[in-house]
Every structure is written in C-alpha cells, then in structure tokens.
C-alpha cells in the first residue's frame, strides 16, 4: 500500500439513528477501541450523530474524535421552524457540519444554491465543513457524472471560501446509487472520480488547494472493502453510514485507516 500524504479521515454519518442513550452506549464502547489509532496526527475521526444526540456526544467523546452536526441553516436565527444555526452548535462546542448529503438533496429539496449558501455562511462562522457530492445511477448511465459533479462543486464553493481550503473543507464523493444499497463503486471507479474532483479543484483554486484537500469516498463502505479503497492515491478516507452504527465495525474502519498511514 502506498503511504498516504494527506490526512486520512474516517467519518460516521449516523443519519436518523442513535438517540442520546444509544449515543452514550456507543461512545463508551468505541472510545477504548480506537485509543491507540487516534494518537496518529494524520488520522481524523468524525461522528455526525443526530441533532438531539449532539450534546451528549460532545460531552463524552473520546480524545481524537470530532463531533459534527448533520445539517445547519445559513442564517444565525429567525423564522425557520425546525432549523438550527451555527450559533447554537458553537454554544455546545460543535465546530463541524456535514453539508449537502444526498438524502438532504433528495428528500429535503436542498439545491446546489442552498448548499453554497450554507457552506459560505458556515465557513464565515469558522466551521469545518464536509461537503457531499455524487451522481445518481441514471446520471452515471447517461455519462453525466462529471457534469453533475462540476455543477455541485461550483454551487458549493464560491471564491469567498477559497481561504478555507486550509484543512477546514473536506469533500465526500458519494455516488447516490452506492448509498445504503450494498453496491460500492469499485476502487477504480471511485479513484477515477476522485481524480476528476481533484482536477476540478486544481482548475478552480490551484495546485496547492487541490493537493491538500481531503476527498473521502462514501457509499456502502465496510470493514471488508475499505482497504482497497484506501489504497487508491486520491481516496483520503471514508464517509460511512450503515457500517458506522456499531462500535466494533467503525473501530475496524479506523484501524484500517491507521494501517494505511503506517
């Protein structure tokens, strides 16, 4: 396995799973399992629990693990029923947000424009953001993957956030057809698309940004397929749904990442 140059990032997206009690139970079990891995400075572990579990998670989280929110509004406050702002997150010590997950796009109508507003606002408020992009099965079959990704990337990243490609912005490539379906993109398919995203970053923001930005793969990542994915030069980690819900399974993914850095 080639040694990784960039930080490797393992992120667990719990979606609408694990309320406060289950979150506490998970973290009690998980923390000792990854203690030695998180000593590595090039390894980053983030968990995105549901909103109501954030407070519990942040107060008992293990060293070396970041807790992030699955969503936030771009305004600070106001008449936006059901929404939360960056200010609230900061108040409980959360400084990281997942933006533009395909389920937010698909079920909650989030557009590239809205996602751009969120990214710009949250970066201005000093958050770290992980921005998700990815094509549907139909789009891939119509050979539109690159066009779709370009639109999503262009929508998410304006010139106003260029300075935050200093480690505060990560991109998660998640082909919609691979999320929760058991169908993983092959390492070759994923690597090819990651290369495209890296080239897009180069064309838009230059060589340095392209070289240092972490691009994670997501979509049915599991302990038995992560090693091959991480062996690809442009895959810098994984955003994991289903396989992040059990402590031993997520810990096994973290061990693989630590091994890839060894």
Closer residue to ligand PGA in complex, CB, 48/209: 48
Tokens of 206: 């230059």
Phi, psi of 44 (to 5 degrees): -125, 135
Write out the H or E segment, with its range, that includes residue 237. Answer: strand 237-240
Closer residue to ligand PGA in complex, CB, 48/127: 48
Binders of ligand PGA: how many residues, by CB under 6 A? 13
Q: Are 70 and 101 in contact (CB under 8 A)?
A: yes
Residue at shortest CB range from ligand PGA:
241
Per CB under 6 A, the list member of 89, 114, 229, 240 interacting with ligand PGA is: 240
Q: How far apart are CA 132 and CA 101, in angstroms?
A: 5
**What is the β-pairing status of strands 96-99 and 128-133?**
parallel
Closer residue to ligand PGA in complex, CB, 134/210: 134
Asked if 71 is part of the footprint of ligand PGA (rule: CB under 6 A), the reply reads no
Asked if 179 is part of the footprint of ligand PGA (rule: CB under 6 A), the reply reads yes
Asked if 219 is part of the footprint of ligand PGA (rule: CB under 6 A), the reply reads yes
Per CB under 6 A, the list member of 4, 7, 9, 13 interacting with ligand PGA is: 13
Asked if 218 is part of the footprint of ligand PGA (rule: CB under 6 A), the reply reads yes
Q: What angle do CA 234, 240, 243 make, to 5 degrees?
A: 130
Asked if 96 is part of the footprint of ligand PGA (rule: CB under 6 A), the reply reads no
Q: Are 167 and 212 in contact (CB under 8 A)?
A: yes
């Amino acid at each position: 396995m080639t040694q990784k140059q960039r930080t490797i990032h393992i992120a667990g997206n719990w979606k609408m799973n694990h309320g406060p009690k289950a979150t506490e139970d998970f973290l009690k079990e998980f923390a000792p399992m990854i203690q030695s891995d998180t000593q590595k400075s090039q390894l980053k572990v983030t968990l995105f629990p549901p909103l109501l579990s954030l407070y519990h998670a942040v107060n008992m989280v293990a060293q070396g693990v970041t807790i992030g929110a699955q969503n936030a509004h771009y305004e600070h406050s106001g008449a936006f029923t059901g929404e939360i702002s960056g200010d609230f997150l900061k108040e409980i010590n959360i400084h990281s947000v997942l933006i533009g997950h395909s389920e937010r796009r698909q079920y909650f109508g989030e557009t590239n424009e809205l996602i751009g507003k969120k990214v710009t606002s949250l970066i201005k408020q000093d958050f770290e953001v992980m921005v998700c992009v990815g094509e549907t099965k139909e789009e891939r079959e119509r050979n539109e993957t690159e066009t779709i990704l370009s639109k999503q990337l262009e929508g998410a990243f304006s010139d106003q956030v260029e300075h935050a490609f200093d480690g505060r912005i990560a991109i998660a490539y998640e082909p919609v057809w691979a999320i929760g379906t058991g169908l993983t993109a092959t390492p070759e398919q994923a690597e090819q698309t990651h290369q495209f995203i890296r080239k897009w970053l180069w064309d838009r923001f230059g060589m340095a940004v392209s070289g240092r930005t972490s691009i994670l793969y997501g979509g049915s990542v599991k302990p038995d397929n992560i090693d091959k994915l991480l062996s690809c030069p442009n895959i810098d980690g994984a955003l994991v749904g289903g396989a992040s819900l059990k402590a031993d399974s997520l810990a096994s993914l973290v061990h693989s990442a630590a091994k890839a850095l060894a």
